Structure 1
């Protein structure tokens, strides 16, 4: 298995042994429970489904409630799937805690980035705009300008950088170093920042060395 599910607690900074102060992110990891085991015979591939955070029964529909009941677990808020090579190492309903990771390892963190809403080209694509109010340019400072020729091709090409919704996309930040592990509180302290808001769910995967 490659990883676990975590919750973004927030950012802080810590001092290393050499006195360097580095920014880091605190992530609460697990305990994650095995809610489903998929096999090549039944599903065409082998993987395990992990769940985290208890969910109220009255907010769970019948099909999902029975899904968790098969594993002998209470309903979970977040479910994610991880590919595995040997499913014989896992038992349905068991938990996997933060000791799955080790200090000094590198991980990839995947999450949904913060939503910025509808933004213009200056903020969304780092356009420079006109720059100065010269020659009567009183309302063109943050405008996108021309978006294409007229007669030929008589259309706007796909992928043109224009205003639109910004953020709220799947983002993966790679090669974040595990600085410290707090097993008592299930805290994973990573060097650097991760995508998403506070209290958002994250997929934390071990780096696979070639």
Structure 2
């Protein structure tokens, strides 16, 4: 028979002499954060809910800025003007032409994490297309396209059928669109032309540095280096520029022309991505209805 253990009062002092950590019988094994979540000071109001970091929450926050339907690829043909004889007003405008714009494939949230439509425009000889891309076109039953661009949409209702032709009738006169295109490349340019610097004095001891940019930064105060993002001489242009809220003035379905108000970046013949304007109310056009009308127009 094992010996009987002594009573607890033999080796334990009174409870009031014991520290508090010894009196707790259930140990706490959870990890407590010193910085619990709280409303961000950059929110519009502290009463707003705390932002979640899940992909579904990120898509929900971005839903109201995503268009309901896809855009289209167009070629910039040049600029002209529309004269209104009643008011005597001359409105400058840009002519965009849609050339064999077709839906190539879809991207779904379940497979890719978001909804998007892959649009192709133009035509390319099969001998000049790589085999993987040629197989991609053959899988979806679409002829090889010269230009392929992806347009994001809000949900599944904005995915037209694969192979559907998008003509000029996809847009309506009076609606607003956003146009994205690469600006004209200016080549290497100095600081005055590229950033609008005023230049240095023409006299009073200045010699051969009239159009120079001047100092590129401090020495010891900034770490003896040129800080990133410093405006200096370099290549100018060739960057994507978005022109927002361009009004559609004319639509010619027979010739595939869309005339928008104002200017669009890029030279003649460049590719322009046009889509419903984000900062304007969405046009009252159902995506399926517009696709059907565009198909009838092309047929």
Q: Shorter chain as normaliser: what TM range?
A: over 0.9
Residue 93 of structure 1: SS of its match in structure 2? coil
Mapped to 1, the partners of 2:261 and 2:248 lie a distance apart of: 7
TM (normalized to structure 1)?
A: 0.93
**Residue equivalent to 1:7:** 75
Instruction: Identify which of 134, 137, 141 aligns with 1:65.
Output: 134
**Residue equivalent to 1:39:** 108
What value does the CA root-mean-square deviation take over the aligned residues? 1.7
Q: Are residues 73 and 156 of structure 1, via their aligned partners in 2, closer, same or farther at CA, if it must alter by over 3 Å? A: same
* Contact 2:117-2:159 within 8 A present in 1 as well: no
Q: 1:128 Cα deviation (Å)?
A: 1.0
* Contact 2:103-2:165 within 8 A present in 1 as well: yes
* Contact 2:116-2:159 within 8 A present in 1 as well: no
Mapped to 2, the partners of 1:41 and 1:163 lie a distance apart of: 46
Instruction: Identify which of 99, 111, 116 aligns with 2:169.
Output: 99
Q: 1:74 Cα deviation (Å)?
A: 1.3
**Residue equivalent to 2:238:** 168
* Contact 1:104-1:179 within 8 A present in 2 as well: yes
Q: Are residues 70 and 152 of structure 1, via their aligned partners in 2, closer, same or farther at CA, if it must alter by over 3 Å? A: same
Q: 1:22 Cα deviation (Å)?
A: 1.5
Q: 1:137 Cα deviation (Å)?
A: 2.3
Q: Is 2:123 the counterpart of 1:54? A: yes
Instruction: Identify which of 163, 178, 197 aligns with 2:267.
Output: 197
Mapped to 1, the partners of 2:226 and 2:159 lie a distance apart of: 54
Instruction: Identify which of 198, 201, 208 aligns with 1:128.
Output: 198
Identify which range, 107-116 or 147-156, moves more after superposition. Answer: 147-156
Instruction: Identify which of 206, 215, 218 aligns with 1:146.
Output: 215
Q: 1:58 Cα deviation (Å)?
A: 0.7
Structure having the higher strand fraction is 1
Mapped to 2, the partners of 1:129 and 1:100 lie a distance apart of: 49
Q: 1:131 Cα deviation (Å)?
A: 4.2
* Contact 2:70-2:159 within 8 A present in 1 as well: no
* Contact 2:70-2:117 within 8 A present in 1 as well: no
- Unaligned runs of at least 5 residues, structure 2: 1-68, 282-299
Mapped to 2, the partners of 1:110 and 1:168 lie a distance apart of: 12
* Contact 1:11-1:25 within 8 A present in 2 as well: yes
- Unaligned runs of at least 5 residues, structure 1: none
Q: 1:44 Cα deviation (Å)?
A: 2.0
Q: Are residues 93 and 128 of structure 1, via their aligned partners in 2, closer, same or farther at CA, if it must alter by over 3 Å? A: same
Superposed CA deviations along residues 104-128 of structure 1, whole A, max 9, x for unmatched, are 1111000111111111001011111
Report the count of equivalent residues: 209
The structure whose RCO (Cα within 8 Å, separation 6+) is larger is: 1
Structure having the higher helix fraction is 2
